[in-house]
Structure 1
């Protein structure tokens, strides 16, 4: 499965509204801009954009900063079974690619929510990507038909998270206490991360590597028009009453879903 449908997930909706496509990637040390091929919900990383444009055509430094508007946003309610699956995948976003044991049966009867904290972003302006493409874009060994059909995309900005928070909605009138549970009997992260009860209802998960993990990106489509390569980071919604183009919204590959990234066999 190349996607995790999350149409009712408040965090996914919030990310989509801000132009971010949620991702689950097996790679660490992810930096924009990167090339992806998108076909039938499969998102395959091809390689660095710098390998496909002339040297010096991209800025030497990335822009970046904090994303406070995404921090501490919670998702919709989930049952223990569905939440366990979600947690397993969400942990990949902070660098935990496997966990020997994730048993959330201790939350039965309670609703759960998840949020990312310590969120930052790094990237380039879409105009800078477009300018680099116009100086020359070499598809190399990319499948020609996929290039022709506009399946080539570029992630020009990533959002990174340091921690994943899981909050239990207490339905016992304040009697639920995470600190009183022997959680190591339910959760084993295999030494790749740590977790702690930061309150009576909230667990914090953090990876042991220093770098924050990319969990979402802003992405655009590469097309060849009138003999030139162009970059589209906005989608036009249609035409207004005057016949002019209506206001565009950020380009998204798939709304209401988390895309699972696969390595696509590119140059790096």
Structure 2
């Protein structure tokens, strides 16, 4: 009886099929970081699932972006094949030269670069009075269209708006501008806007500076309230040596919560009014000619 049991057990063992096949591996996926122009992790992923786990990007999103000639969040290119440098160079996400000049003009005024929480990108944002809505729309849907989405500017407050706010998308190329224009204030635990060195202010930038934060009161005035006295003097010297525009320091004093506040602005002398008109008139909208003293 014992012998029969052993034989039966042997028969059961002989019927077991051993799976010798290797685990299935999906199609390889090449993921490029467009900022560094290099392959993520220096090698392709063995599957979309592996990429999903590593980058925490949904599988359906990865499938959507594979070989569709679009960049995921201005950072990644997904491809099912190896891409050479000639192809990668076609994915140039750097902002255009004109847009960069416009942004510099806005940063000289009320424009602000806001750093993303992950410190990997930044966006440009503004708040304008309701009177400047045509200019807001011009920036968002025309001159900076490449950087913005299609949503309308945000009114504030919503019911009876006095201001409009809008921003560009978060982009890594704007991060480079943030590094040049901002420094961290350890006392107040925040970034503050400062003048970059060296300065590079084109006529286009100067025109947008005037439209966004300039005025005319018997002279062309540029608001520089956010900058220090030394920074404003630096701007005055730059404009004189670069464009032969003669200006002086305009000191603004007022009280806020019983505290004396002092701000500094640039006021162009009368002998430079005609010069600045010739320099920037073609770069500003006709509805802003009054800021050049032109009726």
Task: Flag whether TM exceeds 0.5 (same fold).
Answer: no
TM band (smaller chain): under 0.3
TM-score of the superposed pair, with normalisation by structure 2: 0.24
Higher helix share: 2
Higher strand share: 1
Indicate the structure (1 or 2) with the bigger Cα radius of gyration.
2
TM-score of the superposed pair, with normalisation by structure 1: 0.26
